[in-house]
Amino acid sequence: MVKSKLLPLDKILSQLDKSDRIAIVACNNCARVCGVGGKENAEKMEEILDKEGYNVVSVCDVIAACNAYYYDDANISPAANTILVLSCPSGIRLVKRLFTDKKVITTTEIEGGIIASPTLGRYKVVEVFTGKEALKGKEYKIYTDVELKDTKL
């Protein structure tokens, strides 16, 4: 699994135009574990975009945004001309490949590899990318980006 972090809202909004018809797609795998994806975060993003005056035409979640198979049944409105993807960069790249006629919004940066324990309610960063070395070994509350003080994994 990989750990992704949501970009600052202003960086996400700077990629959008008020005339965009936006479909939000959220990953229910790694990105959800890290507090980026999942239906809950898709609905939060929809609320934010609505308040900012953007037109969201559909919201859906897929089991794994990086697997093309799951887009066969994805509820992405045909009216959408823009797709905002709440997933790791691999999922975002796949959406760009599958939906070449749509603008695809980058929402995250990748930080490293993780292991997760739903039983313990946490995940741990076990490998990191260049520039993210300070994250190695840190543990977070599952489904969030909230760092925990103790380590159990």
pLDDT tens, 76-97? 999 999 999 999 999 999 999 9
d(CA 45, CA 130): 29
Looking at residue 145, its amino acid is D
The candidate with the shortest Cα–Cα distance to 80, out of 61, 58, 96, 64, is 58
d(CA 29, CA 101): 26
Kindly report whether the global pTM for this prediction surpasses the value 0.85: yes
Query: Would you call 68 helix, strand, or coil by DSSP?
Result: helix
Residue 75 falls inside a structural domain: yes
Structure tokens, 129? 């990318």
Looking at residue 83, its amino acid is I
Average pLDDT over the chain, rounded to an integer: 97
Residue 88 falls inside a structural domain: yes
The whole domain housing 54 covers 2-109
Residue 117 falls inside a structural domain: no
Residue 148 falls inside a structural domain: no
**What's the structural domain count of the chain?**
1
Residue 153 falls inside a structural domain: no
Confidence of residue 111 (pLDDT cuts 50, 70, 90): very high
Residue 119 falls inside a structural domain: no
Residue 11 falls inside a structural domain: yes
How many Cβ atoms sit within 10 Å of the Cβ of residue 34?
A: 29
CATH number for the domain including 93? 3.40.50.2300
Q: Residues 72, 75, 81, 84: is their CA dihedral positive or negative? A: negative
Residue 26 falls inside a structural domain: yes
